[in-house]
Chains A and B, each alone.
Chain A
Amino acid sequence: MERIYLDHASASPVDPRVLEYAEQYLKLRFGNPSTLHSKGLEAKKALEDARGKITELINAESESSIIFTSGATESNNLAIKGAAMRNIQKGKKVAASTIEHISVLNPIKELQKSGWEFNLIPVDSTGLVDTEKMNAILTEDTTVVSIMYANNEIGTIQPISEISRVVHEKSLYLHVDATAAGGRIPVDVQNDGIDLLTLSSNDMYGPQGAGALYVKPGVKLQPILPGGGQERGLRSGTENIFTIAGMGEAARIAKNEMVEESRRLEKMRDKLIEEILRIEESYLTGHPTQRLPHHASFRFSRIEGESILLNLDMGYNIQVSTGSACTSRTLEPSHVLLAIGLKHEEAHGSMIITLGRSNKIDEIPRIAKGVKETVERLRKLSPL
């Protein structure tokens, strides 16, 4: 049985075109971009080319607004801790939505231990940030507000321009985690009014191990990784040229193909949602229309998500994700599903599908059949 991979939010294959472009930086062009000789200059050029491609993807003011990191987790840490610590004279408050990724929530919790106040911004049952409540929560002494562009578990896309307006009326910094959205939907940092933006390489078919942080000109950050002063002093350490070059190329391809690819995936997503919702007691999680083009997430009553994942993998060679407690390190169900108001027993039965370039519309009947039979089998086992 041929594999149908539907977990691109967890990991994506590197696009062959990206690998073809980037492998020269592993094999031949191995230089250190901080050195002045020809090998160094070669690497420096690759680094700056990649920076240019990221700049174009998100319409940043200039290449110098892009800082390369080791991935989205580091970008989120640098944005939040860096902004909070550097702007401490303004106050010791940080705010974030309840559905942020754990690599946003945990750095804030760490700040809390050092005396920062953490204000949580609620979302509605579709995962949209409540801007009125946000407005009431934010105060002048909040330094940075972190709201994700789109959520990785429920696919909901936030009204970032509207959020930006509220945040900037109070003259605060807006950090946007665009890990799930980057390369998938148009992100325009100037038009959207974003001060700090996180991007991940692998989420747009680049190699794992690279990320970027957009820093709007004038926004002040404290480095969290001091050292040799690379990346404008904000991220020390010799740049990982292979993964960065790959990320740049991945961003270029994503930008070129975004319109066509998202239209293709949206069609597939909608068909998939239609088919899966035919199953009794199945529900879509997240927003019905304001959602990522490749994202379809569900919950099924009376069954548990890890069982769904295992059964689809072993029985049908289909790989999906779940927000079930049994697959998490903490044995707690997804904080995102709880934040949109699901009960624990409802959150346990979740299934997340994230489509990618390899998926074809003619795979849908097999996926729909696999999910339907999986749900039926597990319900037969279930005492509920």
Chain B
Amino acid sequence: MTETGYSKKVLEHFMNPKNVGAIENPDGYGKVGNPVCGDLMEMFIKVKDDTITEIKFKTFGCGSAIATSSMVTEMAKGMHVDDALKITRNDVADELDGLPPKKMHCSNLAADALHAAIKDYKAKKTGKK
């Protein structure tokens, strides 16, 4: 842990986040949080045969909000959507070697944003049928 209270892994993902950006015409899109609260996340996914082939995010928020967004995209990439739905906030925090207790709500949002994108994908798919 550094003096900021963040693990090395959190700081790595904060400084060099993976999968930043937006996807045009995504198969699934999720948006959670609220700038008033200080956290807002957008998640974009491309899905083929129910597997997440591409995933990108945009996040307004603190260090752990950005790090958890980056981490959740790394975790979900290549995963079956039903498995990705099972990723919890604790899973994300664990992968980052832990988060300060008061920051747990931020990682909650990253998983939530992913889940929202997957649900959007599923709704679209059902709609098409």
Contacts and interface: CB of A to CB of B under 8 A. Distances in A.
Interface string B35-58: 111111110000000000000001
Given A306-B63, A307-B62, A381-B59, A326 B38 contact: yes
Contact of A381 (B4, B17, B38, B39): B17
Interface stretch (A72-80, A214-222, A309-317): A309-317
Binding site of B, secondary structure by majority: helix, strand, loop or mixed? mixed
A302 B60 contact: yes
A315 B15 contact: yes
Contacts of A345: 35-36, 38
A382 interface: yes
Interface in A292-348: 302-304, 306-307, 310-311, 313-315, 324-327, 329, 331, 333, 343-345, 348
B118 interface: no
Contact of A304 (B4, B20, B60, B103): B60
Nearest to B103: A326
Nearest to B58: A383
B38 A382 contact: no
A304 B62 contact: yes
Given A307-B66, A311-B15, A314-B11, A344 B20 contact: no
B61 interface: yes
The contact size tier of chain A is: 20 to 34
A326 B61 contact: yes
A381 B15 contact: no
Given A307-B66, A345-B36, A382 B11 contact: no
A343 B36 contact: yes
Nearest to A325: B38
B46 to A, nearest CB: 18
A326 B37 CA distance: 10
Contacts of A304: 38-39, 60-62, 65
A304 B36 CA distance: 11
Contacts of B121: none
Contacts, number: 72
A382 B60 contact: yes
A308 B63 CA distance: 9
Contacts of A331: 102
B35 A384 contact: yes
B115 interface: no
B8 to A, nearest CB: 11
B15 A382 contact: no
Given A306-B63, A381-B20, A324 B38 contact: yes
Nearest to B20: A381
Contact of A383 (B6, B11, B31): B31
A314 B15 contact: yes
A380 interface: yes
A306 B58 contact: no
Contacts of A384: 35, 40, 60
Interface string B62-77: 1101100000000000
B62 A381 contact: no
A304 B67 CA distance: 14
B40 A324 contact: no
B15 to A, nearest CB: 6
A306 B31 contact: no
A277 B97 CA distance: 38
23 contacts: A304-B38, A304-B60, A304-B61, A306-B62, A307-B61, A310-B11, A311-B14, A324-B62, A326-B38, A326-B63, A333-B38, A344-B35, A344-B36, A344-B37, A345-B36, A345-B38, A381-B17, A382-B58, A382-B60, A383-B31, A383-B42, A383-B60, A384-B40
Given A315-B15, A324-B62, A383-B59, 18 more contacts: A304-B60, A304-B62, A304-B65, A306-B63, A310-B14, A310-B63, A313-B4, A326-B38, A326-B61, A326-B62, A326-B65, A344-B35, A345-B35, A345-B38, A348-B35, A381-B60, A382-B58, A383-B58
The 8 closest A-B pairs by CB, nearest first: A326-B62, A383-B58, A306-B62, A345-B35, A383-B42, A382-B60, A344-B36, A348-B38
